[in-house]
Amino acid sequence: MKNAFCELRLFDCVIAENGALMVLPETGEEKMLAPPPDPIFVGRLEKLKVTPLSVGRSIVATWHPNETKVLEAMRELGLELQITFSKGAVMVLASGINKESGLRAALEALDISPLNVIGVGDAENDEASVSHSTPLYAGVAPATRSQ
């Protein structure tokens, strides 16, 4: 994450891995909000030749059209996981983990009321945190860049 954006200290809290990891830049504290990926699941995806395949601390990610192989592995192993789509990305996390759950954890850690939050997003996976967790929100549809 620090390689993608080195100025994390500008923020009080960063939620990463689609809601699975909370970082408090001021103290450097990192808190896992979800369990790590099952190594047997990751191994099965590798055997199914899912590429690209990224494995984070809690998230497993790939790209469309690999969701069919991801579902196949989940079904074979009897795993209850959640698949989230965003602009072609296919992200797999523990059930119930998403940007909304991450936002709720951040609000609790920072002692901020949801009444003091406005949510804005530009992709399918932003919907939960934008429309459900904050009483006041910007109803933003996924944006497209003008050419």
One domain for residues 16 and 56? no
In a domain, 2, yes or no: no
Element (H, E) at 102: helix 99-110
Q: What is the CATH number of the domain that holds 110?
A: 3.40.50.1000
At 123 the pLDDT is: 62
Q: Which domain holds residue 111?
A: 8-34+97-137
17-64 tens-digit pLDDT = 999 999 999 998 999 999 999 999 999 999 999 999 999 999 999 999
* CATH assignment of the domain containing 66: 3.90.1070
pLDDT in tens, 124-147: 666 665 555 454 444 444 444 444
Place of tokens 């196949």: 72
Residue 87 has pLDDT above 60, yes or no: yes
pLDDT at 76: 98
Q: CA–CA separation, 37 vs 73, rounded Å?
A: 13
**Measured between alpha carbons, how far is 68 from 52 in angstroms, rounded to an integer?**
14
pLDDT of residue 11: 86
CB 34 within 8 A of CB 58: yes
Q: In what order do the strands lie in the sheet with 21-24?
A: 14-16, 21-24, 29-32
Quickly tell me which residue has 């940007």 as its tokens: 99
Q: What is the pLDDT of residue 8?
A: 83
My answer on whether 60 and 85 are in the same domain is: yes
The more confidently predicted of residues 121 and 115 is 115
Q: Is residue 62 located within the same domain as residue 83?
A: yes
Answer yes or no: do 55 and 79 share one domain. yes
Q: Report how many domains make up the chain.
A: 2
The reported pLDDT for the residue numbered 121 is: 65
Phi and psi at residue 52, to the nearest 5°: -70, 160
Predicted TM-score (pTM) of this structure: 0.79
Do 44 and 75 sit in the same domain of this protein? yes
Q: Are 26 and 102 in contact (CB under 8 A)?
A: no
